[in-house]
Amino acid sequence: MAILKVIEILANSHKSWEDAAQNAVKEASKTVKNISSVNVNNFSITVKDGKVDEYRVNVKVTFFVDNK
């Protein structure tokens, strides 16, 4: 039986939602090993001066804690 853990991360980018998701994986990978999947739950943007300023994603990162 595999034991998995899920953490939730908010990430952002000035380029795109895809880049924001990539940033989440990149940052999580610095301290979390054995990432198996990322589920993007929510997309949002911030607006500044009538233009898109920042893309934001809320993701759930799943990783193996123990694989027996």
Report d(CA 59, CA 56) in Å as an integer: 10
Please give the model's pTM, rounded to 2 decimal places.
Answer: 0.84
For residue 67, pLDDT beyond 80 = no
Q: How confident is the model at residue 68 (pLDDT cuts 50, 70, 90)?
A: low
Phi and psi, residue 8, nearest 5°: -110, 135
Output the pLDDT for position 2.
83
CB 7 within 8 A of CB 64: no
3.40.190.80, 3.40.50.2300, 3.30.70.330, 3.30.1660.10: CATH of 2-67: 3.30.1660.10
Q: What is the pLDDT of residues 9-59, one digit of tens each?
A: 999 999 999 999 999 999 999 999 999 999 999 999 999 999 999 999 999
Give me the phi and psi of 29, to 5 degrees please: -65, -20
Euclidean distance between CA atoms 38 and 24, whole angstroms: 9
